[in-house]
Amino acid sequence: MGADEKARMAVAARLRMAREMAGLSQAQVAKKLGLHRPSVTEMEAGRRSVTAEEIVVLADLYAVSIDWLTRGSDEKMDLAQQRFELAARELGKLKPKDVDRLLQVLTALREKERPR
């Protein structure tokens, strides 16, 4: 698998994860975007390219960060950052596997700081 294809598959996987986290079915997304359902299936399988405009619309629909959707994250760095922002006292309230899940959710929702 080439680097381009790897990146496309990674975006496809995150599109699916973001949709599921938003609580939408493929059919609901298709209706909101005015697409046919198979188009959404194809996007999430990495068999159809996703335009920049679609990425913006989907990120908004799923309420996830565009950076995370397109580039994913430097997992180690982002998780370290989240751990830093959430005091250990807070995370200590959760079961270890739930900590991982929570950090995953927060990473997807996290907008990179932008100068205003």
22 makes contact with another protein (CB under 8 A) = yes
Q: 64: how many CB neighbours lie within 10 A of its CB?
A: 24
Helix axes 37-45 and 3-22, enclosed angle (nearest 10): 130
Give residues 79-98 in contact with another protein (rule: CB under 8 A): 85-87, 90-91, 93-95, 98
On the CB side of 76, how many CA atoms lie within 13 Å of its CA? Answer: 0
102 makes contact with another protein (CB under 8 A) = yes
d(CA 20, CA 17): 5
- The secondary structure of residue 110, as a DSSP letter, is P
**Helix (H/G/I), strand (E/B), else coil: 111:** coil
- Choice from 17, 37, 48, 70 touching another protein (CB under 8 A): 37
d(CA 59, CA 29): 12
- Choice from 6, 25, 71, 112 touching another protein (CB under 8 A): 25
Residue 109 has which token pair? 């929702």
CB of 75 to another protein, least distance (A): 18
CB of 26 to another protein, least distance (A): 10
- Choice from 5, 27, 71, 74 touching another protein (CB under 8 A): 27
Positions that interact with another protein (CB under 8 A): 20-25, 27-28, 30-31, 36-37, 62-63, 85-87, 90-91, 93-95, 98, 101-102, 105-106, 109, 111
